[in-house]
Amino acid sequence: MNELTARGERFCAKWEKRRKKKWQFVFIHGFVYSGIPLGVTMFLWNSHLKIENMHLSHLAGAILVFGIVGIPQGFSRFKKYEKIYSVINDNTDS
Protein backbone atom coordinates (compact mmCIF):
# COMPACT_ATOMS: atom_id res chain seq x y z
CA MET A 1 0.00 0.00 0.00
CA ASN A 2 1.46 3.33 -1.06
CA GLU A 3 1.46 6.21 1.36
CA LEU A 4 -0.06 9.50 0.27
CA THR A 5 1.97 12.65 0.49
CA ALA A 6 0.63 15.51 2.60
CA ARG A 7 -0.44 17.27 -0.60
CA GLY A 8 -2.27 14.18 -1.85
CA GLU A 9 -4.03 13.77 1.48
CA ARG A 10 -5.19 17.40 1.43
CA PHE A 11 -6.41 17.02 -2.16
CA CYS A 12 -8.34 13.83 -1.34
CA ALA A 13 -9.91 15.36 1.76
CA LYS A 14 -11.11 18.43 -0.17
CA TRP A 15 -12.19 16.49 -3.23
CA GLU A 16 -14.26 14.02 -1.17
CA LYS A 17 -16.56 16.92 -0.27
CA ARG A 18 -16.49 18.77 -3.59
CA ARG A 19 -17.14 15.79 -5.84
CA LYS A 20 -20.58 15.31 -4.25
CA LYS A 21 -21.67 18.71 -5.61
CA LYS A 22 -20.68 18.28 -9.25
CA TRP A 23 -22.93 20.91 -10.83
CA GLN A 24 -22.15 23.48 -8.17
CA PHE A 25 -18.43 22.93 -8.87
CA VAL A 26 -18.98 23.21 -12.63
CA PHE A 27 -21.01 26.42 -12.25
CA ILE A 28 -18.59 28.09 -9.85
CA HIS A 29 -15.39 27.11 -11.65
CA GLY A 30 -16.80 27.56 -15.16
CA PHE A 31 -19.24 30.45 -14.98
CA VAL A 32 -18.01 32.42 -11.98
CA TYR A 33 -14.24 31.89 -11.97
CA SER A 34 -13.70 31.74 -15.74
CA GLY A 35 -16.67 33.28 -17.53
CA ILE A 36 -17.26 36.45 -15.53
CA PRO A 37 -13.62 37.66 -15.47
CA LEU A 38 -13.21 36.90 -19.16
CA GLY A 39 -16.52 38.62 -19.97
CA VAL A 40 -15.54 41.75 -18.04
CA THR A 41 -12.10 41.76 -19.65
CA MET A 42 -13.55 41.45 -23.15
CA PHE A 43 -16.13 44.16 -22.38
CA LEU A 44 -13.37 46.55 -21.30
CA TRP A 45 -11.23 45.57 -24.30
CA ASN A 46 -14.06 46.15 -26.77
CA SER A 47 -14.97 49.50 -25.23
CA HIS A 48 -11.34 50.68 -25.52
CA LEU A 49 -11.62 51.73 -21.86
CA LYS A 50 -13.76 54.75 -22.82
CA ILE A 51 -16.83 55.38 -20.71
CA GLU A 52 -18.90 56.57 -23.67
CA ASN A 53 -18.41 53.14 -25.29
CA MET A 54 -19.49 51.21 -22.19
CA HIS A 55 -23.11 50.08 -22.11
CA LEU A 56 -24.63 47.91 -19.42
CA SER A 57 -26.32 45.71 -22.01
CA HIS A 58 -22.95 44.94 -23.61
CA LEU A 59 -21.50 44.03 -20.21
CA ALA A 60 -24.43 41.74 -19.42
CA GLY A 61 -24.17 40.11 -22.84
CA ALA A 62 -20.44 39.53 -22.51
CA ILE A 63 -20.81 38.02 -19.04
CA LEU A 64 -23.65 35.78 -20.20
CA VAL A 65 -21.89 34.58 -23.34
CA PHE A 66 -18.52 33.95 -21.71
CA GLY A 67 -20.20 32.46 -18.65
CA ILE A 68 -22.04 29.92 -20.77
CA VAL A 69 -18.85 29.16 -22.69
CA GLY A 70 -17.09 28.68 -19.33
CA ILE A 71 -19.46 25.86 -18.28
CA PRO A 72 -17.69 23.23 -20.45
CA GLN A 73 -14.39 24.47 -19.05
CA GLY A 74 -15.69 23.90 -15.51
CA PHE A 75 -16.89 20.44 -16.49
CA SER A 76 -13.48 19.69 -17.98
CA ARG A 77 -11.80 20.78 -14.74
CA PHE A 78 -14.16 18.53 -12.76
CA LYS A 79 -13.27 15.54 -14.94
CA LYS A 80 -9.56 16.32 -14.59
CA TYR A 81 -9.77 16.41 -10.78
CA GLU A 82 -11.92 13.29 -10.74
CA LYS A 83 -9.28 11.49 -12.81
CA ILE A 84 -6.51 12.60 -10.45
CA TYR A 85 -8.60 11.45 -7.50
CA SER A 86 -9.22 8.02 -9.03
CA VAL A 87 -5.50 7.60 -9.81
CA ILE A 88 -4.57 8.46 -6.22
CA ASN A 89 -7.19 6.09 -4.84
CA ASP A 90 -6.11 3.28 -7.20
CA ASN A 91 -2.51 3.72 -6.08
CA THR A 92 -3.40 3.66 -2.38
CA ASP A 93 -5.61 0.56 -2.79
CA SER A 94 -2.84 -1.47 -4.43
Evaluate whether residue 25 is within a structural domain.
no
39 is in which domain, residue-wise?
Answer: 30-89
In the chain, the number of structural domains is 1
34 found inside a domain: yes
End-to-end CA distance of the chain: 5
Please tell me the total number of residues recorded for the chain in this structure. 94
pLDDT in tens, the chain (94 residues): 466 788 888 999 999 999 999 999 999 999 999 999 999 999 999 999 999 999 999 999 999 999 999 999 999 999 999 999 999 888 766 5
- Give the model's pLDDT for residue 2: 60
Q: What is the pLDDT of residue 93?
A: 63
Give the model's pLDDT for residue 89: 83
In a domain, 36, yes or no: yes
Residues 74/24, Cβ–Cβ less than 8 Å = no
pLDDT at 1: 44
Is residue 3 one of the residues assigned to a domain? no
Helix H or strand E encompassing 4: none
